[in-house]
Structure 1
Amino acid sequence: MEKSYSHCVVDGCKRARQSHGHCMKHASENPDHPRCTYPGCENVERTKGLCQRHWGQQRSGEELRPYVQWNLLDCRGPLCTRKAKFKDGYCQRHHTQKLDTGETWVIGTRKPKGRAPVQRCVHPGCTVTEIAVRGRCLEHAREHHGECWLPWCHKPGHHITGLCDPHRRVERSMQHHYGFGWQRRLEMGAEQDEKCWICGHQGDLAAKNGLHVDHDHDTGQVRGLLCGLCNRGIGALRHSTENLRKAIAYLEATDQRRWSQSTRAT
């Protein structure tokens, strides 16, 4: 049985190929496999001599910079042996302490039974009990963290990215699949007037009815913005121009046949 072109060339491996015919696992294990050309980067080459992260930086128009794996650094909180999880150099527990109170302490020394749930807003003098995000009410969360920088969103933003939590998750997904974030996505929408490239359907990001980012599943190259129906339609036709031509010919033939049958009946 012939091996599928979309799978790793290593016999018995069913993972998708991502770099020179290999999956990322076998590409990383092979010492002779091409590596990223960025100085000091040892990641596997993905596209045009760059690894996936540096290629994403170049494609989004950013200046290439070293990639730091924060989870390999030690937390800089007092007497903490955990690994850092955030760019401020703290683990999850100390990161939360810093956001809520502005200071950090040795875990377990203030609350022996763990972190007690916040009963009211931690802002001095505020008595609001409805917590919006990170121990603060909606008003003081916006004041402390600022609003999400996306024009249609007014939720409190993150102190590093400036995005609210839902849009941060969407940006991480876009970075993983397409190599760019919200800035490039807004530029693409402006280039197409936020209309589907095929049918012209008007998308609306504020109403959660935005267009889909269409890309080539073999090369990873982004092609444009499509509405959900058109995106699923070309996917159902296996992204084949030949299948699309046959579908057009079929519709034209059936329309002609239907017209001839109706005239014969009259």
Structure 2
Amino acid sequence: MSDSCNPREKQCPQCLRTLPSSEFHSNRRRPDRLAYYCKRCAAERSEASRRRRGIGQRRQTEVPVPAGSKWCPDCDTTKPLDAFARTKASSSGYHSYCKPCHNARGQETRKRLYGGSREYHLRRRYGIGQLEFDGLLAAQGGVCAICGVDDPQHLDHDHRTGEVRGILCFNCNGGLGQFRDDPVLLADAIAYLKGTTWQRVLIHPGVFQMCSPTRGRHPSRSS
């Protein structure tokens, strides 16, 4: 990399010191590929931001961490690397907290910001909350928009536009997904059922025969 992209020295706008480029973190999004503030000032600003948000001081382990392991500051435990989820956002390639602690933090955040995981997932995936969900369900009469079963819980949406269409039961929602929301496939399935369904036809009083429009096929044992 040329000196014009990554200068050997740079002035930090906070402490006004002119320092070698090694005293700045890398930042590929900036023209010089270096962070705006030096490492010391960046750490001070980060700590000040954490205090303003009510976050405690960043903890550090007092015991050396062996190779192939990582220390979790929440449970104060050194664990193998596979106990930490991977992420490209960290220089180490792993999250700061082990998987159980990471999940617990996520649940706490969703509870604090959204009131729970249900509200979080509804808003993140569909753009509506539980209140809007309840209103849509009430407008449907409290039943599945397709089969009419009580208390459906699956929010159906158009996978191309993301627009919410209605609330369905598990079976109807899964059925649309299996047919890839394709009206042609659904119409073909209806035509197939009508053309192959065995029916009881009255031949004589009290005598029925199983008949099907499809030749060469016999009714199953359950027909």
TM-score, L = length of structure 1: 0.37
Q: Which of the two has higher C-alpha Rg? A: 2
TM-score, L = length of structure 2: 0.43
Which structure ranks higher in relative contact order (CA pairs < 8 Å, sequence separation ≥ 6)? Answer: 1
